[in-house]
């Protein structure tokens, strides 16, 4: 499904068709070990699960570039053993399927560069490809002239749907127009906020909960919601606008 022209949803990822670029967000590798350190014995499944989903994506598209919009790893303050092993394994897997992997530094990624350097990948604060600016979304910054669309992660977008006593939460993309004051000039941009590409938790309810990203502090009433469903996150549903959903769901 296409969110805006040239930008397509594939599973929990985005694909820029013309640029042949696949965008993943908030993977949080190392989460199981982090939980384990807190005394919860979560078996490791995320990497395996992610690779399986990516393999099916690569059957459909052949990206040249893969961008990770931040929070590739989970631990804030250190590198745990699982992260060392799995991030390298993951990067090797990606590099087998594309020419270039770009990693944007997320707020969880403070200690990621020692790992990424092993594969000669430098962390970036944001990337501009043609008219698209891709950033983690935890901070604001100056936006280059030609940018029209901003794509962010960080928020782990989701919505809760309720009917009678039943409540279910689904991952979703939200997309809409925002005005940003950039270099004393107000300018209009398309903004796309992504769900997390991992399958541990659904994420933050964009209808109900307090959102973190400075990009999402605007009124989101006119934003469109694209829900990702299906057993393998392979079905897309356009759910109308936030304001309509707030009223109905």
Partner 1 sequence: MKHIQEQQIIKKEQPNNQNELVNILHPFVKQWFFSKFKEFSLPQLYGVMEIHSRKNILISAPTGATKTLTGFMAILNELVDTADKGILENKIYAVYVSPLKALNYDIEHNLITPLKEIEAITGKRLGIRVAVRTGDTTQKEKIAMLKNSPHILITTPESLAILITSVKFRDYLKDVQWCIVDEIHALAENKRGVYLSLSLERLNHISPSLARVGLSATIAPIEEIAKYLVGSRNCTVVELQFLKQLDMQVISPVKDLINVSHNDLHHELYTLIDKLVQEHKTTLIFTNTRAATERVVHHLKEKFPKNYTENIGAHHGSLSKSHRHNIETRLREGKIKVVVCSTSLELGIDIGYIDLVLCLGSPKSVARALQRIGRSGHQLHAVTKGRIIVLDRDDLVECSVLLKAAVEKKIDRIHIPRNSLDVLAQQIYGMAIEQVWDENELFETIKKSYCYFDLKKSDFEEILSFLAGEFSSLEDRNIYAKIWRNDGKIGRRGKMARVIYMTNIGTIPDQTGVEVKIGTQTIGFIDEGFLEKLKKRDVFVLGGSTYEFRFAQGMVCQVTVSAGKPPTVPSWVSEMLPLSFDLSLEIGRFRRLMEDKFLHKLSHEDILTFIHEFLYVDKNAAEAIYNYFRLQYEYVKEIPHDKKILIEHYNDREESKIMVHSLFGRRVNDVLSRAIAFAISRSQKRDVEIGIDDNGFYISCEKNVNVLSALKLLKADKLKLVMENAIEQTEVLKRRFRHCAQRSLMILRTYKGRTKNVGRQQVSSMILLAAVRRISPNFSIIKEARREVLEDLMDIENAMVVLRMIEEDKIKIKEIHTSIPTPFAFNLVMQGYTDILKIEDKVEFLKRMHQMVIAKIALQKKNISEDKQKDFLKNNSIDYHELWKKSEDKKKLEEEEGKQHLKFLAYNLKHVPTFAKEQIIKIIDGETDDIRADFIEDVKKYRKEIEKEWPKELKELVLNIALYDRRYEAARKL
Sites of contact with partner 1 (CB under 8 A) = 32-33, 35-36, 38-45, 49, 160-168, 170, 199-201, 208, 219, 221-222, 227, 229-231, 235, 237, 239-240, 243-245, 247-249
Instruction: Quote the least distance from Cβ 161 to partner 1, whole Å.
Output: 5
Instruction: Quote the least distance from Cβ 80 to partner 1, whole Å.
Output: 11
Instruction: Quote the least distance from Cβ 220 to partner 1, whole Å.
Output: 9
List phi, psi (to 5°) of 31. Answer: -65, -40
Instruction: Quote the least distance from Cβ 190 to partner 1, whole Å.
Output: 16
Instruction: Quote the least distance from Cβ 238 to partner 1, whole Å.
Output: 8
Residue (66 or 71) nearer to partner 1, CB: 71
Q: Please provide the size of the chain in residues.
A: 249
Residue (96 or 164) nearer to partner 1, CB: 164
Find, among 245, 230, 241, the residue nearest to 10 by Cα.
Answer: 230
Backbone torsion region of residue 183, taken as left when φ is above 0, otherwise alpha when ψ lies between -120 and 50, otherwise beta? left
Instruction: Quote the least distance from Cβ 247 to partner 1, whole Å.
Output: 7
- Cα→Cα distances 190→18, 147, 215, Å: 17, 9, 11
Cβ(142)–Cβ(158) under 8 Å? Answer: no
Measured CA to CA, the distance from residue 3 to residue 13 in angstroms comes to 12
Residue (21 or 190) nearer to partner 1, CB: 190
Lateral strand order in the sheet of 100-104: 2-4, 7-10, 13-16, 21-24, 65-68, 100-104, 123-124
Residue (100 or 235) nearer to partner 1, CB: 235
- Residue written as tokens 């990424």? 116
Instruction: Quote the least distance from Cβ 158 to partner 1, whole Å.
Output: 12
Residue (63 or 203) nearer to partner 1, CB: 203
Read off the tokens for 54.
Answer: 């990516």
Residue (39 or 77) nearer to partner 1, CB: 39
Bridging pattern class, strands 157-163 and 204-205: parallel
Residue (104 or 245) nearer to partner 1, CB: 245
Residue 33: DSSP 8-state:
H
Angle of the 81-97 helix axis to the 46-60 helix axis, nearest 10: 10
């Amino acid at each position: 499904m296409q969110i805006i022209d040239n930008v397509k949803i594939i599973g929990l990822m985005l694909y820029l068709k013309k640029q042949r670029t696949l965008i993943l967000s908030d993977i949080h590798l190392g989460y199981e070990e982090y939980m384990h350190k807190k005394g919860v014995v979560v078996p490791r499944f995320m990497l395996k699960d992610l690779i399986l989903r990516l393999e099916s994506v690569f059957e459909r598209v052949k990206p040249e570039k893969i961008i990770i919009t931040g929070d590739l790893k989970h631990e804030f303050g250190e590198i745990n053993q699982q992260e060392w092993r799995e991030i390298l394994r993951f990067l090797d897997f990606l590099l087998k399927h594309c020419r270039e992997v770009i990693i944007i530094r997320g707020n969880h990624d403070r200690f990621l560069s020692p790992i990424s350097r092993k594969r000669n990948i430098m962390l970036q604060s944001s990337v501009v490809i043609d008219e698209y600016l891709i950033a983690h979304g935890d901070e604001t910054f100056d936006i280059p002239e030609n940018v029209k669309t901003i794509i962010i992660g960080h928020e782990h977008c989701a919505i809760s749907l309720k009917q009678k006593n039943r409540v279910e939460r689904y991952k979703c993309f939200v997309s809409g127009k925002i005005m940003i004051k950039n270099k004393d000039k107000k300018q209009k941009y398309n903004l796309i906020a992504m769900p997390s590409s991992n399958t541990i938790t659904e994420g933050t309810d964009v209808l109900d909960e307090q959102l973190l990203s400075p990009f999402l502090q605007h009124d989101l009433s006119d934003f469109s919601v694209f829900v990702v469903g299906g057993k393998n996150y392979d079905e897309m549903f356009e759910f109308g606008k936030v304001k309509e959903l707030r009223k109905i769901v």
